[in-house]
């Protein structure tokens, strides 16, 4: 069950390049959330910022209530909501609703977890990478960004992933090109390995990865991001179109309650 709380900001880290990592004390949410779930974060004053914004739970860590009592969100400042959050300082209150939605599934026996992240899409994964490492199933990370400045948390990730392959559009870090390059190379290798893909990034990148996964016949989970007013199922603003019309909402499914993590093959890209 989600909790609606006002959490105190414990830390607001400027990671450079417009990226921020904001840690908020929220024991109720931190204690139960799962990798891939999200929170709605915003102002406690609706005249300051009317709607909250959806953010993946990037990390769960220590706070006032013990080892697992704070949540951290990672974002790039793009508008009023992220601008508001980036200006919060230690001690400020933030409205937080969560945990919300469906998270990632753990890899099945014999599967190798492969995380494919584009830019700030990495925000969906640090918590998951920790979980995988703790389970003795470290993931291989394919991490793409526009430039070297668009690879937040890279050093942290290198310490937790089984392997890391980096690409940038301009070649300023890792291989020049798109993150789909090393993915296709990997999937072309007819080894005994069985991969399960976990993807988050810009829509065109996720669409491309979903197509590659479908061709290679490997399972692929995507963490979707769409504009949301509520995050808990009532506004019906965040829908994606799906192939299977079985649901009572017809050909659209709500990202907030049916996602944000969905099977890539379900989505009409």
Contact in structure between 151 and 166 (CB atoms under 8 Å): yes
**Smallest gap, in angstroms, from Cβ of residue 115 to another protein?**
26
CA distance 252 to 230: 17
- Whichever of 14 and 241 has its CB closer to another protein, that residue is 241
47 lines the binding site for another protein (CB under 8 A)? yes
Find the binder of another protein among 8, 61, 237, 266 (CB under 8 A).
237
83 lines the binding site for another protein (CB under 8 A)? no
Residue closest to 122 by CA, chosen among 49, 57, 193: 57
Helix (H, G, I), strand (E, B) or coil at 262: strand
35 lines the binding site for another protein (CB under 8 A)? no
The torsion angle over the Cα atoms of residues 104, 107, 111 and 117, rounded to 10 degrees, is 30
Find the binder of another protein among 39, 74, 179, 239 (CB under 8 A).
239
CA distance 154 to 159: 9
Contact in structure between 7 and 26 (CB atoms under 8 Å): yes
The residues facing 85 across adjacent strands are none
**Smallest gap, in angstroms, from Cβ of residue 33 to another protein?**
15
**Smallest gap, in angstroms, from Cβ of residue 98 to another protein?**
12
Site for another protein in 217-236 (CB under 8 A): 226-230, 232-236
Contact in structure between 15 and 153 (CB atoms under 8 Å): yes
Find the binder of another protein among 87, 158, 203, 251 (CB under 8 A).
251
Find the binder of another protein among 238, 261, 264, 267 (CB under 8 A).
238
171 lines the binding site for another protein (CB under 8 A)? no
Residue closest to 129 by CA, chosen among 154, 99, 161: 161
CA distance 259 to 241: 12
**How far is C-alpha 115 from the chain's CA centre?**
11
List C-alpha distances in Å: 259 to 113, 188, 209: 19, 29, 18
- Whichever of 164 and 222 has its CB closer to another protein, that residue is 222
Find the binder of another protein among 17, 27, 35, 42 (CB under 8 A).
42
Find the binder of another protein among 13, 46, 67, 171 (CB under 8 A).
46
Point out which span in 18-26, 48-56, 155-163, 202-210 binds another protein (CB under 8 A). Answer: 48-56
Site for another protein in 1-20 (CB under 8 A): 1-2, 4
Residue ranges that bind another protein, judged by CB under 8 A: 1-2, 4, 42, 46-47, 50-52, 80-81, 95, 97, 226-230, 232-241, 248-252
């Amino acid at each position: 069950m989600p909790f609606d709380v006002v959490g105190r900001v414990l830390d607001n880290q400027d990671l450079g390049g417009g990226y921020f990592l904001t840690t908020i004390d929220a024991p109720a949410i931190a204690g139960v959330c799962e990798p891939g779930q999200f929170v709605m974060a915003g102002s406690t004053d609706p005249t300051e910022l009317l709607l909250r914004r959806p953010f993946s739970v990037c990390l769960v860590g220590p706070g006032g209530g013990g080892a697992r009592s704070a949540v951290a969100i990672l974002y790039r400042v793009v508008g009023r909501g992220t601008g508001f959050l980036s200006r919060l300082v230690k001690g400020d209150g933030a409205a937080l609703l969560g945990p919300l939605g469906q998270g990632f599934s753990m890899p099945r026996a014999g599967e190798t977890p492969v995380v494919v992240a584009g830019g700030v899409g990495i925000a969906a994964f640090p918590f998951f990478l920790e979980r995988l490492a703790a389970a003795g199933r470290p993931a291989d990370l394919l991490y793409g960004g526009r430039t070297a400045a668009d690879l937040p948390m890279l050093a942290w990730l290198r310490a937790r992933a089984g392997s890391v392959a980096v690409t940038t559009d301009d070649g300023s870090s890792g291989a020049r090109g798109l993150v789909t390059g090393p993915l296709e190379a990997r999937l072309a290798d007819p080894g005994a390995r069985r991969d399960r893909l976990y993807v988050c990034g810009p829509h065109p990148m996720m669409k491309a990865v979903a197509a590659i996964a479908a061709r290679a016949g490997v399972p692929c989970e995507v963490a979707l991001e769409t504009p949301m007013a509520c995050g808990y199922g009532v506004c019906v603003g965040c829908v994606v179109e799906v192939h299977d019309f079985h649901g009572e909402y017809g050909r659209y499914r709500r990202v907030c309650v049916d996602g944000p993590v969905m099977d890539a093959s379900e989505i009409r890209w």
